Structure 1
């Protein structure tokens, strides 16, 4: 009788894909986009990886956002969510699974991503983040050029109190009148102003060069983001989060936090933080991590005021200088280089933000 010790490698075949499953549980447009970008970035940074995602179909934009992420192999819109039993690997699981679930080997992931382990703060663990692309891009580009005739244009957005899913939010809603000097400066510089958003937003001024896409198809709006010289966000809102995966330079004004950014093309202009003595807080205070509108409001130690018209114009001047050689931008390639094939845990939580006050 011979006894021999040996090692059996069953699941380390080089042709076996690394299976990522992302439970996209966020509901707001910005948070949902951020988690999807994280999942796509992990997929792109691991050699021979595949990505399946789940979401609740409770917002119309979720399916649309996933459709601009070519990294996703298959999406599972399950209104009742995903029980842990869906990941049972036994031959006879105790629960009925969706059609095609096991055939796509979704029950056998190597990692499951949830909001807590795939937030924007962990994006710093990757050298680059994933890029999105518009399906049928040539079709939507042609439609966009029928509306935008100038050699360059800026996409703008602000939170409007008419947004049906969350209603008015005093600390984030924006007075459109405060944007008028910025519009004039863009038009005087030879560009056009293209607004994106949701149906029912307050009307734009009737001026030559002002184009409103808020009533238009989602893909026409994302085509605009992908070609814009820059994205000017007047107040915190979800659509600006699409600027980053489309590689569009972004200025975020009137911000109530300094997070939610994972691109070096983003500059953040926080709301004015006013002390009891009536003076503006320092940049050091904001960088210390104590800047959060809800915390400051509860403490009643500070007041938050909107950015002044001069501050908004200074932000625009920065964007114009930074993008001085840009016209209609070429959309980024959705593939990123530098695949390491390895992930390191625990991941760091790190914010890398450019501030402007």
Structure 2
């Protein structure tokens, strides 16, 4: 005889999560197609039927119908009769005219290099305990140009929050080193918030071309200097009041990070400070969701990278001669500021 408890337990058994996860890359494909054709912007601009979208884009009506219906099922659009409307979130984050547009990130997140890394042999990097080969940390990897172009919108809120933190200090930095600058937003936002700050940005040459463009657009190019090369090998100078490590340490193992932090510490003025940005999971390593999941990103994309807990970051700091490391969450971003304390 089945009890009420047995029935409730069976009601909790469902293949829905499994099916959704196995089919997940189809969702990525739909967003990539919609952004390339500019479906969201066109619908936001009033082209709200398949016929109107086809006339405006040149894409087939059948293809657009299936795509828009799929996007409706996924929750990006609503459908009434034959017309489609964006949800408030779609209008905010997927209309190219929106100041909060995040769609550019697809260029990096769904790049062929990234898809190949994670789908071609995932069991291989699990068995290996990291990527087979250097993967995303290979020198001058062109994927970082895609990162710099696409991920600026994702990192901007963290960059602004960091700049606000630095601007609140009683003693403002005059000489700032931005390691792995990417699109340059962290250094640029500090240059905007601290008018006398001069920024030295380190990254690969191709990436720095974009960061210099962004510095020019932001009106801080006269105080922005680019230095091409590997952060581990390049001589970036000394006497920095502030050194930035935005989204960098997680690409490497603890020993490598300690070595870099020692080099950083030796490059500071006596009162100089170090600020990092990381995705920091709790000690249980399964919360909060984004930070905890980031370890999987590092397993597939780097040989030995990791999503470090606050305790591990503190151990890393002490190993490099710092007194401690403390973490400050930056909501609504999933990132955290990391203060390396002397």
TM-score (norm 2): 0.28
**Greater relative contact order, per chain length (Cα 8 Å cut-off, separation 6+):** 1
TM-score (norm 1): 0.27
Question: Which of the two has greater helix per residue?
Answer: 2
